[in-house]
């Protein structure tokens, strides 16, 4: 059975998880804006494309996923048939809804800033 390295103090062993957590938090802060922007763009594109496909093209939401660009596998779709809208969600980060109206096609809800 291996024993703990006596050269490493117990205090140092307790400190490393906090250093790793701090590093993860710093990286998340650094990449938050680009990641959030990517998620909002992906959700908006997904909602608009899926709404047009579903309500103007008459295809199923599963079939509409074929129209997505590569890298959009995380975008989830849901439909409100009564409102004639499709919501696309990038988990934990962004959600966008597009609604089909007669004569105008599918329009995205305004972005909240």
User: For each of the chain's 113 residues, which pLDDT tens digit applies?
Assistant: 555 555 656 666 677 788 888 888 887 777 778 888 889 999 999 999 999 999 999 999 999 999 999 989 999 999 999 999 999 999 988 999 999 998 889 999 987 66
Domain region containing 99: 24-107
pTM: 0.72
Task: With respect to residue 7, please indicate whether it lies within any of the assigned structural domains.
Answer: no
55 phi, psi to nearest 5 deg: -90, -25
CA distance 73 to 13: 40
Scanning the structure block, which residue is given the tokens 């922007």? 37
pLDDT at residue 61, rounded to an integer: 93
In the chain the first and final C-alpha atoms are separated, in Å, by: 57
Task: With respect to residue 61, please indicate whether it lies within any of the assigned structural domains.
Answer: yes
Q: What's the number of domains the chain is made of?
A: 1
Task: With respect to residue 56, please indicate whether it lies within any of the assigned structural domains.
Answer: yes
Asked if 88 and 50 touch (Cβ cutoff 8 Å), the reply is yes
Task: With respect to residue 14, please indicate whether it lies within any of the assigned structural domains.
Answer: no
Task: With respect to residue 82, please indicate whether it lies within any of the assigned structural domains.
Answer: yes
Asked if 91 and 43 touch (Cβ cutoff 8 Å), the reply is no
Task: With respect to residue 15, please indicate whether it lies within any of the assigned structural domains.
Answer: no
């Amino acid at each position: 059975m291996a024993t703990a390295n006596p050269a490493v103090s117990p205090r140092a062993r307790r400190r490393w998880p906090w250093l790793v957590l701090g590093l993860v938090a710093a990286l998340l802060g650094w990449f938050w804006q680009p990641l959030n922007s990517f998620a909002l763009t992906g959700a908006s594109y997904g909602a608009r494309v899926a709404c047009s496909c579903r309500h103007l093209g008459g295809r199923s939401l599963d079939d509409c996923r074929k129209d997505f660009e590569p890298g959009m596998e995380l975008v989830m779709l849901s439909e409100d048939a009564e409102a004639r809208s499709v919501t696309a969600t990038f988990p934990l980060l962004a959600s966008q809804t597009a609604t089909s109206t007669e004569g105008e096609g599918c329009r995205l809800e305004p972005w909240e800033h």
